[in-house]
Amino acid sequence: MRWNHEVDRALVSQVPEDEIRQIKNEFITDRIRQSIDTWGNGPELLQKIIFTAIKALALLISRVLTAIRELKNKLFHETLEKPSTTAAPPLQKQRWRNSPSHRFKRACKTYQEKGA
């Protein structure tokens, strides 16, 4: 169950599915085969194997999130350093058209035109 939780966390963190499968194959599938060949059927070993795979996946998630954070900070600082070449758009002076009183007047006018 914890493995599924970490996989969900990895997918939300945008870890590529191929890397998740690679960790599953390397840390779970292959090690279970080796364990069964060496020790036979041992459920207590399965828990340790899955726990190791969870830790490897958590480390990969951490690396991906760190890379994303660094990229975001780099882009943020680049935009701060660039001087703005475009002028700010002028303030809209027609905000009164969206005011409740103006909408009420428009509705009354429309009603009167349709009724007359």
- Judged against a pLDDT cut of 80, whether residue 116 lies above it is answered with no
Q: In this predicted structure, what is the pLDDT of residue 84? A: 59
* Distances in whole angstroms, Cα of residue 3 to Cα of each of 9, 20, 63, 96, 112: 10, 11, 18, 56, 66
* Distances in whole angstroms, Cα of residue 69 to Cα of each of 73, 99, 109: 6, 41, 54
Structure tokens of 22? 């690679």
Q: In this predicted structure, what is the pLDDT of residue 106? A: 75
To the question of pTM greater than 0.75 for the whole model, the response is no
Q: The dihedral of CA 39, 40, 41, 47: what is its sign? A: positive
| Residue 75's pLDDT band (cuts 50, 70, 90) | confident
| Residue 91's pLDDT band (cuts 50, 70, 90) | low
